[in-house]
Structure 1
């Protein structure tokens, strides 16, 4: 059975949790990534606007794109997707057992966000492509 992680944007940010509760619980840290995205949207409105426009900017997790590469597709982390949803002011809505593909509106790069770390962990870095 796959796990679906969902929280509405109206849900208050959590406080007082341990590192283990934040990053190693059943949600695999996705809720924390989404909360960070919500906080960054308030601090960096330009970044939030890029996300709302369908861009996939470089963030702290694999998945963002700064430019088009020869190979017009790559893999990214579900943690990136969670943070991106938070930056957009959206509900957190991720299935831990499924991949989800998005195309960056600026670079036209297609990024498939996957629960399989091996798909994005060993990718050639953007700078090397």
Structure 2
């Protein structure tokens, strides 16, 4: 019995030490402009355990540094969805999406097209 308890304690200890306090990850987050960038980065950085969050308007990639002991990618994705931005894993509710500024309506093809032409990316 003593050996089993020792073994369990050892396993739990190894799990705790295997989590990275400076984990790096990236995820795709929908958005179209600098207002989206500010909202996305702010939502991510306000998530407990997130140390750095940088989103690219051009690639829609959010680069993260976070503490795996305090949060995970699903939690971060939920925080982004809560402020109106879709990720591959979690979609924003209609209510959250409708709360973003009209120029940030990334689901609207006309808005996306307008941003592309502003940035010289349109045809």
If the length of structure 2 is used for normalisation, what is the TM-score? 0.24
Which structure carries more relative contact order (alpha carbon 8 Å, separation 6+)? 1
Q: Computing the radius of gyration over CA atoms, which structure comes out larger, 1 or 2? A: 2
Q: TM-score, normalised by structure 1?
A: 0.23
Higher helix share goes to which structure?
2
